[in-house]
Chains A and B, each alone.
Chain A
Amino acid sequence: DGGITQSPKYLFRKEGQNVTLSCEQNLNHDAMYWYRQDPGQGLRLIYYSQIVNDFQKGDIAEGYSVSREKKESFPLTVTSAQKNPTAFYLCASSIDSSNQPQHFGDGTRLSIL
């Protein structure tokens, strides 16, 4: 089946630790995105990538890093510099970056131990 796969579903981070969230898509989409969702808030854009080997900061990029070495993969690293990392992280993709709807993976819940 074509789709977007995020892993793990649940992740626990210790203080001072970096963790990486995986996002893979087999839809042959050019564009990929990372959002976080906090209770009672809308989704906020962390990073996005319009094409392989290119990415831009979103609205809340501080404390996060990404890479886009392959078209199908867009991993997100939550670094120790992110002081409030507990959230629901959602990866999305779209055919390209021209006003297309985005389709989401089923998310990763990150919590601090």
Chain B
Amino acid sequence: RKEVEQDPGPFNVPEGATVAFNCTYSNSASQSFFWYRQDCRKEPKLLMSVYSSGNEDGRFTAQLNRASQYISLLIRDSKLSDSATYLCVVNSGGGNKLTFGTGTQLKVEL
């Protein structure tokens, strides 16, 4: 089983739609969780950290379920500019070692 698993997609949605991504992780001792966004042939950029109580940043909401070991990202009112690959990232080792999922591709269409 992979340490961090994501549905690769692509998810093709119309502009204005709400879309949700899930991610599961295998190490129950994992301490911190993040969502990154990566555009084609660019570096990953931090979208948001994920906290146990859930957190929201504008149109983006992240949730963490430690019991089931999954993380979710909800995007409301999708924009064309949201088209990218979304990486689920888990810190599960000493020295701030991050484990990256392979990413979920989102395509927002007119």
Contact = CB atoms under 8 A, between A and B. Distances in A.
A16 interface: no
Interface residues of A, number: 28
Contact of A42 (B87, B94, B95, B97): B87
Interface stretch (A63-71, A76-84, A96-104): A96-104
Given A42-B101, A99-B32, A105 B43 contact: yes
A41 B8 CA distance: 10
Contacts of B102: 40-42
Contacts of A94: 96
A107 B87 contact: no
B14 interface: no
Interface string B60-80: 000000000000000000000
Contacts of B87: 42-43
B51 to A, nearest CB: 12
A5 B24 CA distance: 32
Contact of A98 (B4, B46, B96, B101): B96
Contacts of A48: 95-97
A94 B95 CA distance: 11
A99 B96 contact: yes
Given A40-B102, A50-B95, A101 B43 contact: no
Nearest to B4: A42
Interface string B25-63: 000000110100000011111100100000000000000
Interface of A: 31, 33, 35, 40-45, 48, 50, 56, 58, 88, 90, 94, 96-107
Given A43-B44, A56-B95, A104-B45, 16 more contacts: A33-B98, A35-B100, A42-B4, A42-B101, A43-B87, A43-B100, A45-B97, A45-B98, A48-B95, A50-B95, A58-B97, A98-B96, A100-B32, A100-B96, A101-B34, A107-B43
